[in-house]
Structure 1
């Protein structure tokens, strides 16, 4: 019987010799970066070098057996060894994203330096399974790769979905008050709760938070001024009370009757945008992709700031949208950007305060 843990998909590759020179984690990321820099499919030729952009979150998605912090530490290590270059290549003042390329000249020099023995956690040799005639060092490197990947199937620290949950809670419930911080213990609890009470669907959690936000009592407007806390709201007994409508106010009841925004409301938002054809084309197409309800909830203040080569830069009105919107609407956003420019393959989201955004938009445009 075949196992899902055996290779039936394109594997990550690493050369044992490279791992001995720069470190195991560094070798894995460097090999993947080399793949993305291949001129056959990389058209980002800048300063006579090919460059690749991925955020730490996007790099982590390529290495699901590592945490985001492990990816950051590994990339920083490669930067310190001067094996990779990282630069901010965009001239746009709101775009602080880093691009990466490999310093192949430095990599050639690395070939001559001593191996980095002991860089990874030691593994007892008597716990390794030897094959016939496999007494060479490369065999042990391969075993260490297998062991590290197996041990890190469960991400360290906090899971991405719990980060989304905590960000939405802070944005909707805490607002300008003290933010709730995500810890490994809280992350585990939120992940478990997402599966048991919200059908593993982050949209159900966002709807839950929005329902709380529309309750005057839960938001501290009752006689005693008590306000809901995350620990209280994630207690299963209290979740049931909220689902049963025990704390619903008039605002929520009104929302139930007008849950779906009309197409006319959405089109009025787009009509109010002046002298920005790229944004109008993008938003018009996006409405068809995601519907008026999600459009009115998340995209009314989104603008196309820049289209350059095969990449676009969009502004968003809330900081947590930078990570939340791509996870929820990635294909919809990309498809709508292709309606603006068919060559677009990548996009960046940048958080811009409304007052700052007015400085980069045409003066005749008024934000809805």
Structure 2
């Protein structure tokens, strides 16, 4: 049965009865599927991790592999992070394993979907080549075994077993090649692991510069955003950033920048889509393996939003109004602290009832009342509550500051306009306007 066009890249379409992802299989099922190939031989030829991956791939091909029109053999798709879960390793390790086995010709891969946005790879095994390699692999003598052991020491963790526990050491120098004779109590494994962790997180000078460039390029993409998703460097993410650049973008900073642009092009990721929890992406989540894969497969509505760099004027206007609203709110809050709110509200109600829209309106607030709406409606009815509150704030401001709410807002807009006129770099405006919002002595802005 041919693969339908436009398949969802994150659903396993290997069989009608299969679930969204390939599930873990039991040890007994695993043993049944090892009858054809000797795991010992696979390990001797390919190493432990590759042998494990080949066995897993073979198992799932036999269980739920799918025929693809015009291509021989069985094929299957499983997301990288699911392979990683099954093999208990990182997705970057899986990617290296797949790439290496593809180069050896053991794994075959095809992009079977015609749609440009769906470039999902499906995998199969080259059974002819695999059989030939295993057939030519005879059991070697002790000399060959020793050479193989040395190779394992260089490339794989050293395992020490007393039939109860497995300990892993990542440095052959720690054991001086006599690990089989060492006593468990003589080895401080926690210190070894701590040293190894420190080595993994410590970056070279070039890697540090790369991480700095990654953060700079990312923030440059978002510099025009009203609410940017800011990149940053921390102890916990700097190694992850290097891995992301190398494993997902081939070390290419231009491709990393394109990823930032993709994020900026999504309403959902930028927090502009209505969701139950008001979701908005954060940088630490965006550099996770699973998130990267989904975004690079055009999930999360990539492309449904205009890039901020193409919308600078609109963003500045929207930011201006945001500043006006926030400063206006701060002034109102300030006034309520300084006055007797209950007393002022009672006097406000009496003022509105007694004053005429055209006469006796010494505070100039009633001219803003809709003439067709009776004053008692505004004072008493719920649907006019917002208008009533705005009138009250204008009343208090005019009474104590000699300026109405509308005049305050206009004055703030004029000050912002001057800031814009004096700024040569438009991308710095949004940051400057944000600083204005944070000013504590807001009233001084009105003087």
TM-score, shorter chain, exceeding 0.5: no
More helix by share: 2
Greater Rg by CA = 2
Q: TM-score, normalised by structure 2?
A: 0.31
